[in-house]
Amino acid sequence: MNGVDSQDDEIVWSNVVSYVDQIDRLHGYLTVKETLNFAFDCCYGGTHSGPFLAEDSPDVNKLVKQLDEDGWLVDVIMRAVGLKRVEDTFVGNDKVRGVSGGEKKRVTVAEMSECIDPLFFMSCEIFNSFFSFCV
């Protein structure tokens, strides 16, 4: 990929690539915000400090604490993919009514984009559904 050998032992591909499945594997009884908060907790351990924060100073710690209290990353991603207005709505399934099909796809994409992986692979169906929202 882009001149990088896929057999390179120094690259852990699972740390840089996410695959967004065509099938939504979401819990219907969680709200959109609860789903994304759960993904954030799984990826970052519930804090914005993360492995990339090398400095340990009172100012930085205060900022991280404020970001954690505000749920900054989850909020930014919900706004970016147009889910902020449905943040308190169940994701939904065949037993409980929830967000629309397009919104459910965006929940799946948002969930994957919360992790550190900078590269996504999506099926064409998800790609078209997601970017029809953006236009």
Q: Which residues pair with 17 in a beta bridge?
A: 119
pLDDT tens column, 53-74 = 666 778 888 888 888 889 888 9
pTM of the model as a whole: 0.72
Three-state secondary structure call for residue 122: strand
pLDDT confidence of residue 135: 47
Helix 101-113 vs helix 32-44: angle between axes, to the nearest 10 degrees? 20
Cα(18)–Cα(118) distance, rounded to whole angstroms? 8
Which residue in the block uniquely carries the two structure tokens 């591909």? 13
What percent of the chain stands above pLDDT 90? 27
62 burial level (CB within 10 Å; 0-12, 13-18, 19+): exposed
Domains for the chain: give ranges and CATH numbers. 19-134 (3.40.50.300)
**Residue 114: CB atoms within 10 Å:** 21
Query: Is the Cβ–Cβ distance between 133 and 81 less than 8 Å?
Result: yes
pLDDT tens column, 14-68 = 666 666 667 778 999 999 999 999 988 888 887 877 666 666 778 888 888 888 8
